[in-house]
Structure 1
Amino acid sequence: MLQNSGFRPLGRQECLRLLAKVPVGRIVYTRQALPAVLPVNFCLGPDSAVLLRTSGDSDLARAVDGAVVAFEVDEFDAATRSGWSVVVTGRAGLVPDPAESEPPDGEGGPDSWMPVRDGVLVRIETEVVSGRELTG
């Protein structure tokens, strides 16, 4: 990256703080051997894992359980040409719906904005966290 490129790298703690500010992100995973991106609402768990809720029999749940995925959030202002982007990479796993069994560490997770049947939490470990800020 050029020294004066307009981008500033963000540290892990700053990335996690920004990640917690927004309600919607994008999960990036593999579906039928092709890349797939899906916008979802989410929250951070007490250990900074990304949590989202989906139907237990959904394509998303089947595709991500045990897989390494990416999760991206951002916030940009076109008028000032400024903003930030954070990417989390880590292993995803399914946690049964807390209504049926208690998830680890009391992680209740967010309510899905979409109708959910036989809900599960998708828990994404924050193994690799990177981000950058664009200054206009």
Structure 2
Amino acid sequence: MSEEPAGRPPEAPGREQPVAAEPPRRTVEVDGAEALRLLGSVPMGRIAFTRQALPTIRPVNHIVDDGNIVIRTHEGAALTSRTLQADGPGVVVAYEADAIDPDTHLGWSVVITGYAHLVTDAQELARYQALLRPWVRQPMDYAVRIRPDLVTGLLLVPVDQPAEA
């Protein structure tokens, strides 16, 4: 058994060849309208909220409708329970989605922070149920609308490339 030189970590299994240096990249902020457009271009994201005073994150599918993010949920879901009990402005949540290439690490990321409310209007709920098909096999009888208060978006682009979404 050979020893690694002092001060050098052991090689990871299956990593016999050196890893090529990645091209430098930079981040470019986008405005809220562009961030919402990017968010609307992907079907899934992650919603973050508190459950028993601890952060909780769930993957969900979504649509962007008139500047709001809408997801479907079910009775008994932690977020459904929280929004049912919410008085006033609603439940504070964060919503994140991205499209980042796993090889080049280029792409974009959008984070929305705002208040979540259950959709209670029967016509709106029926419309969202028609537009937003759940990707899990269980009844998803509720819809939650997130009204963004803070919208941030970043593009990850090569240093020598102009910023374009």
Instruction: Give the TM-score category using the shorter length.
Output: 0.7 to 0.9
> How many pairs are equivalent?
128
Q: Calculate the TM-score normalised by the size of structure 1.
A: 0.84
| Cα distance in 1 between the residues matched to 2:51 and 2:70 | 20
Match for 1:103 among 124, 137, 141?
124
Give the aligned partner of residue 50 of structure 1. Answer: 69
> In the TM superposition, what are the counterparts of 1:1-136 in structure 2 within 5 Å?
6-45=26-65, 47-65=66-84, 66-96=90-120, 101-103=122-124, 107-108=127-128, 109-117=131-139, 119-136=141-158
1:85 Cα deviation (Å)? 0.4
Question: Which residue identity does 1:89 align to in structure 2?
Answer: T
Instruction: Tell me the SS of whatever aligns to 1:102.
Output: helix
Answer with 73-82 or 123-132: which moved more. Answer: 73-82
Question: Which residue identity does 2:77 align to in structure 1?
Answer: S
| Cα distance in 2 between the residues matched to 1:126 and 1:88 | 6
Bigger Rg, structure 1 or 2 = 2
1:115 Cα deviation (Å)? 3.2
More strand by share: 1
Residues 118 and 88 (structure 1), Cα distance of their counterparts in 2 relative to 1, 3 Å cut: closer
| Cα distance in 1 between the residues matched to 2:47 and 2:83 | 10
Question: Which residue identity does 1:132 align to in structure 2?
Answer: L
Q: Which has the higher contact order (CA 8 A, sep 6+)?
A: 1
| Cα distance in 1 between the residues matched to 2:99 and 2:44 | 10
| Cα distance in 2 between the residues matched to 1:73 and 1:118 | 21
| Cα distance in 2 between the residues matched to 1:57 and 1:43 | 22
1:118 Cα deviation (Å)? 6.3
Q: Calculate the TM-score normalised by the size of structure 2.
A: 0.70
Contact 2:25–2:157, Cα closer than 8 Å, also in 1 = no
After superposition, give the CA deviation of every residue in 1:60-105 in whole Å (9 maximum; x if it has no partner). 2113452110000001113222111000111000014x7xx2128x
State percent identity of aligned pairs.
38
Residues 129 and 118 (structure 1), Cα distance of their counterparts in 2 relative to 1, 3 Å cut: closer
1:27 Cα deviation (Å)? 0.1
